[in-house]
Amino acid sequence: MCEGAVLRACELVKRFGGLTAVDRVSLAVESGEIHALIGPNGAGKTTLVNLIAGELRPDHGRVWLSGREITRLKVAKRARLGLARSFQISSLFGSLTALEHVALALQGRWGSSFRFWGDAARDEGLLRRARAELARVGLEDAADVPAEALSHGQRRQLELAMALAMDPVLLLLDEPLAGIGLEEGERMVELLAGLRGRVAMLLVEHDMDAVFRLADRITVLTYGRVIASGPPALIRDHPEVVRAYLGEGEASDAAP
Amino acid sequence: MPRLAELGLALRAGLLTLLALALMLPAWGDPYVVKLATRILVFALAAAALDLALGVGGMVSFGHAAFLGLGAYVVGINFLHGFEGSLLLGFAPTQSLVLQLVLAALLAGGFALLTGAISLRTRGVAFIMITLAFAQMLYYLFVSLRRYNGADGIALWNRSDGGLLDLEDPVAFYFLCLAALLLFLFVGGRLYHSRFGRALRAARDNERRAQALGIDTYRVRLVAYGISGAVTGIAGVLLANATYFVGPAYLSWPVSGQLLVMVVLGGMGTLVGPVFGALVLLLLEEFLPGLLDSVRPGLGESWKIVLGPLLVAIALYARGGLWGVLARRRVARVRWTGPRAAKAPRHV
Amino acid sequence: MDPSLLLEQTLNGLQLGVMLFLLAAGLTLVFGIMDFINLAHGSFYMLGAYLTAWLVGWSEAFLPSLAGALVLTALVGLLVERLVARRLYAADHLYQVLATFGLILFFNELIRLLFGPQPIFLEPPAWLAGQLEIAGAPYPRIRIAIVLAGLMSGLLLWWLIGRTRLGMWIRAGADDRETIAALGVDIGLVFALVFALGAALAALAGAMAGTLVAVRIGMGEEILILTFVVIVIGGIGSVRGALVGALLVGLVDTYGRALLPDVLALVMERSVADAAGAAMASMAIYLLMAVVLALRPQGLLPARG
């Protein structure tokens, strides 16, 4: 029952010392759908994302990507299989330009990092493709700006451009809206909505408006366990969710 | 390594002048100067090779003397067998410079890949200590090899056979070393700006991110470490020929430290900076003792009592090295602590 | 194999092991807590030997001289911490390497200027001269004293770290620098004390070594690299790991040198076995390190996780 779909995680368990951060979590992301993962702080969302991305090894359970088991594969190998992620805190290479970032993502995805001679900065094939990817997120005008000079929202867009450049089968988005302004947040939501149906996404997000606008399906995590999973309408009225999360969530969001 | 076109006019003119000086130096006709300059070129090559691992790749190797020594022993061991007329592992020994260079690159590069495969599984201070330990292992191995004169080393009666090039001619040998250095700076520059170089720098600057982009940072580093070791081995072949001597001292830890000082002093991550580091350090080594003796006779012997605090001062106040001063550029950071970095990714 | 020879080699291995432990304990704490690589730790070892020899020559009383040397070296350690190390805790490891490499050069030349280039000798006190019978075999008293003193220092350290307030701070500092700062402890003071403690332990090891072999310039660096191997095998930052690593390295090195030529002679010619045995023995601990790292990159008993 654990195979099929774009991403399938089955019975994942991760313990840190005495604490069970992720406790027998199973979830699936179907082709083309946006699957949101929500839960209060400390619910194990980030641990789950790291288990799927390969930064942590589960103590128990398995992960499949497009029907291939990836439980024991390294981060880089998973990425080359089409698992692209963005980071909660923008994680970029300060001095590289936006264009160079996307070019790096392309060469990573293509596995062409062992070319020793040609000048990557004058590689027209690479550059043309990288410019196209930047244009997809509306960053074409910032192509030659070093990442450290981009605005916070632009960095988020760049993260998305890098992930999309990897031609992913699954996008793993860890709080893509965290810390950006209303206007830039709105643009990001539209970008993500525009990708619906074309690429499967696992979206971890605190902004409930965005989650309910974007998600085809929502999984709720508290204390490392899945307490509910289903379409937004179902989750919104789910009594346990309201009690465990949404009610408290408002309060804890107000005073983080 | 910066692109030539990005440098200021004054710096470009300075580099060209220096190159012209290097080309005209033998015309001066002073054999002492040619000998010193040759030594500087050889160490510059080794330091630039180390910089590929250290500055560009962020791998703080404290064991590069091992690769230098392996290259030198390729010359020494072949010489000894040739001198005795004995076989080397069943093969006729070779005095051909080209073959020795190939052998040295394979041997030193192979040793780098082997030890790198183990030491690159760790990071931070552990990596530094392990590279040092592996070099020390080789040092003790050669000290204990009585077949090759142990701690006494091998004195060479003549240089390798350069084919058309007569290496016994100090000027010809000088130009060979200059050509080797320039060739590596060119090749290293191509490497730096290639996709491989980009992946290597990405692994240095933000390993976690690079991996998430599909870059196998372990393999990228390992290959860079192997290349760096191979080129340092080539410098070892030249060093043996320059000094007519090979001994375990070439593999000793102070030599690793010296190479490291050259890289930092010159400006790491630039490949060309370490050339200046080698120049300045070896000139200091050559002339500081005399200078101190003129202050107080006998003090020259203890010139390192000045060098030591100078290194402390560089570490504290002049981290960009000479290149940093000349090009007014920040140098690459090489903190590579893995787990801790993963916990707190660098914000941009 | 002759059992008395085996016993003797075991004691020799233990003796090297406890000396390595004294060096490794301080160094691994400095790595673990301050994330600082101190190449000049071997200089403290050398200083301890020279200062003890100098004070003994002057006062002819061994134990007070030893105590004086430990205090003086600890003060030098404090000075190094204040002037150099403290400014580099947050810097790249590379600059720590560069600065402490510079310190090695400085201390070596300083000793050369003060004591001359020739090795000097440190006579063990009369009450430790001569041999002691152990299981029918004679064994030098001084070596036994070294093993005992080393083990006692180890116990003292265990008490200090496990049972005292300073030890609690040290443990907290090794886990998390912010925690200890939040406790209202002057973290700078803890760092300085750890550094000075490490210097004193290294000086003790140096003085011990000085009673066995000549006291000379450069003695610190050879043993420093062995100490690195100990720390890497044991796991960085772990004092227990340092103990296990030190004993392992001490025994493997000693057994290797004593036994490998004989063992190899069973399968090959004597002259070849002697040469190969010597070569292999000199590499044995590094190969041990390689094996440990290949299986457990974090060391045998890592401090965290």
Beta strands in chain C (DSSP E): 131-134, 137-140
Q: What percent of chain A has pLDDT over 70?
A: 93
- pLDDT at position B339 is 35
Residues in chain A with CB shorter than 8 Å from the CB of B211 are 74-76, 79
Whether residues C102 and B144 touch (CB distance < 8 A) is answered with no
A140 lies in which domain range? 96-167
B206 Cβ under 8 Å from any chain A Cβ: yes
Whether residues B348 and A114 touch (CB distance < 8 A) is answered with no
How many angstroms separate the CA of residue A246 from the nearest CA in chain B?
29
Instruction: Look at residue B327 and tell me whether its pLDDT is greater than 90.
Output: no
Using the 3D structure, point to which of A167, A202, A224 is the last residue of a domain.
A167
Residues in chain B with CB shorter than 8 Å from the CB of A156 are none
Q: Could you report the per-residue pLDDT of A50-91, keeping only the tens digit for each?
A: 999 999 999 999 999 998 999 999 999 999 999 999 888 878
Whether residues A79 and B198 touch (CB distance < 8 A) is answered with no
Whether residues C84 and B316 touch (CB distance < 8 A) is answered with yes
B167 SS3 class:
coil
Whether residues A109 and B213 touch (CB distance < 8 A) is answered with yes
Residues in chain B with CB shorter than 8 Å from the CB of C230 are none
Check: CB of residue C211 under 8 Å from CB of residue C52. Answer: no
Of A76, A85, A116, the CB nearest to B191: A116
B264 lies in which domain range? 4-343
Most confident of A4-8, C205-209, C286-290: C205-209
Whether residues B213 and A93 touch (CB distance < 8 A) is answered with no
Closest alpha carbon to A108 in A90, A88, A93, A95: A93
CA dist., res. A247 & res. A39, Å (int): 11
Would residue C20 count as lying in a domain? yes
Would residue A126 count as lying in a domain? yes
Q: Which two tokens stand for residue B122?
A: 């760790």
Would residue A73 count as lying in a domain? yes
Using the 3D structure, point to which of A148, A167, A186 is the last residue of a domain.
A167
Whether residues A93 and B206 touch (CB distance < 8 A) is answered with yes
Most confident of A171-180, B44-53, C184-193: B44-53
How many angstroms separate the CA of residue B129 from the nearest CA in chain A?
26
- Same domain, residue pair A62 and A116: no
Interface test with B, best of C229, C286, C287 (most B CBs within 10 A): C286
- Same domain, residue pair A143 and A199: no
Q: Comparing B160 with C137, which gets the higher pLDDT?
A: B160
* Number of domains making up chain C: 1
Using the 3D structure, point to which of A141, A167, A193 is the last residue of a domain.
A167
- Same domain, residue pair A143 and A180: no
- pLDDT at position B48 is 98
Q: Which two tokens stand for residue C267?
A: 């399968």
Q: How high is the mean pLDDT of chain C?
A: 89
Neighbours of chain A (3+ CB pairs under 8 A): B
CA dist., res. B207 & res. B215, Å (int): 9
Closest alpha carbon to B268 in B218, B216, B335, B209: B335
* Number of domains making up chain A: 2
- Looking at the DSSP assignment, which residues form a beta bridge with residue B32? none
Mean pLDDT within B134-163: 93
- Same domain, residue pair A158 and A208: no
Check: CB of residue B136 under 8 Å from CB of residue B76. Answer: no
Confidence of residue B84 (pLDDT cuts 50, 70, 90): very high
- pLDDT at position B343 is 33
Phi, psi dihedrals of residue B123, rounded to the nearest 5°: -150, 180
Write the burial class of residue C141 (CB in 10 Å: 0-12 exposed, 13-18 middle, 19+ buried). middle
How many angstroms separate the CA of residue C105 from the nearest CA in chain B?
5
C68: left (phi over 0), alpha (psi -120 to 50) or beta: alpha
Distance of CA B276 to the CA centre of its chain: 13
Residues in chain B with CB shorter than 8 Å from the CB of C297 are 121-122, 126
- pLDDT at position B12 is 86
- Same domain, residue pair A67 and A22: yes
Of B121, B268, B302, the CB nearest to C293: B121
Whether residues B346 and A94 touch (CB distance < 8 A) is answered with yes
Residues in chain C with CB shorter than 8 Å from the CB of B121 are 293-294, 297
Mean pLDDT within B161-179: 95
- pLDDT at position C174 is 65
CA dist., res. B39 & res. A11, Å (int): 64
- Looking at the DSSP assignment, which residues form a beta bridge with residue C215? C120
Q: Could you report the per-residue pLDDT of C84-135, keeping only the tens digit for each?
A: 999 999 889 999 999 999 999 999 999 999 999 999 999 888 888 888 887 7
Residue B123 carries which side chain, given as an amino acid letter? R
- Same domain, residue pair A235 and A202: yes
Would residue C50 count as lying in a domain? yes
Whether residues A118 and B195 touch (CB distance < 8 A) is answered with yes
Whether residues B126 and C236 touch (CB distance < 8 A) is answered with yes
Interface test with C, best of B51, B140, B149, B260 (most C CBs within 10 A): B140
Whether residues C88 and B315 touch (CB distance < 8 A) is answered with yes
Interface test with B, best of C92, C112, C233, C298 (most B CBs within 10 A): C92
Residues in chain B with CB shorter than 8 Å from the CB of A104 are 198-199, 202, 210, 213, 215
Confidence of residue B170 (pLDDT cuts 50, 70, 90): very high
Burial B178-210 (b: 16+ CB within 10 A, else e): bebbeebbeebbebbbbbbbbbbbbbbbbbbbb
Q: Are strands A19-29 and A7-16 parallel, antiparallel or unpaired?
A: antiparallel
How many angstroms separate the CA of residue B59 from the nearest CA in chain C?
9
Q: Tell me, what's the ipTM? A: 0.90
Of B54, B118, B145, the CB nearest to C293: B118
Instruction: Look at residue A249 and tell me whether its pLDDT is greater than 80.
Output: no
- Same domain, residue pair A127 and A154: yes
Of B196, B201, B215, the CB nearest to A76: B215
- pLDDT at position B260 is 96
C82 lies in which domain range? 11-217
Whether residues C96 and B133 touch (CB distance < 8 A) is answered with no
Burial A145-170 (b: 16+ CB within 10 A, else e): bbbeebeebbbbbbbbbbbbbbebbb
Q: Comparing B217 with A250, which gets the higher pLDDT?
A: B217
A107 SS3 class:
helix
Residues in chain B with CB shorter than 8 Å from the CB of C282 are 137, 140-141, 143-144
Would residue B125 count as lying in a domain? yes
How many angstroms separate the CA of residue B90 from the nearest CA in chain C?
17
Confidence of residue B287 (pLDDT cuts 50, 70, 90): very high
Residues in chain A with CB shorter than 8 Å from the CB of B209 are 87, 91-93
- Looking at the DSSP assignment, which residues form a beta bridge with residue A171? A84, A201
Residues in chain B with CB shorter than 8 Å from the CB of C92 are 60, 333-335
Would residue C186 count as lying in a domain? yes
CATH of the domain at A235: 3.40.50.300
Distance of CA A56 to the CA centre of its chain: 16
Q: Comparing C302 with C55, which gets the higher pLDDT?
A: C55
C111 SS3 class:
helix
* Number of domains making up chain B: 1
B308 Cβ under 8 Å from any chain C Cβ: yes
- Provide the H-helix boundaries in B145-216: 170-193, 195-205, 207-212
Q: Could you report the per-residue pLDDT of B241-252, keeping only the tens digit for each?
A: 999 999 999 999
C43 Cβ under 8 Å from any chain B Cβ: no
Would residue C259 count as lying in a domain? no
Cβ-based neighbour number of residue B79 at 10 Å: 25
Would residue A244 count as lying in a domain? yes
CB pairs under 8 A between A and B: 112
User: Within the 288-307 window of chain B, which residues sit less than 8 Å (CB to CB) from chain C?
Assistant: 301-302, 304-305, 307
Confidence of residue B125 (pLDDT cuts 50, 70, 90): confident
Would residue A88 count as lying in a domain? no
CA dist., res. B330 & res. B318, Å (int): 11
Instruction: Look at residue A247 and tell me whether its pLDDT is greater than 60.
Output: no
Instruction: Look at residue C4 and tell me whether its pLDDT is greater than 80.
Output: no
* Half-sphere exposure for B172 (CA within 13 Å, toward CB): 12
CATH of the domain at B91: 1.10.3470
- Provide the H-helix boundaries in A75-120: 75-80, 98-110
B143 Cβ under 8 Å from any chain C Cβ: yes
Would residue B348 count as lying in a domain? no
Would residue A197 count as lying in a domain? yes
- Positive or negative: CA dihedral C196, C201, C202, C203: positive
Of A91, A103, A105, the CB nearest to B208: A91
Neighbours of chain B (3+ CB pairs under 8 A): A, C
Whether residues C37 and B128 touch (CB distance < 8 A) is answered with yes
Interface test with A, best of B120, B193, B195 (most A CBs within 10 A): B195
Confidence of residue B329 (pLDDT cuts 50, 70, 90): low
Whether residues B223 and A74 touch (CB distance < 8 A) is answered with no
How many angstroms separate the CA of residue B248 from the nearest CA in chain A?
34
Mean pLDDT within B194-210: 94
Whether residues B133 and C232 touch (CB distance < 8 A) is answered with yes
Instruction: Look at residue C177 and tell me whether its pLDDT is greater than 70.
Output: no
Would residue B279 count as lying in a domain? yes
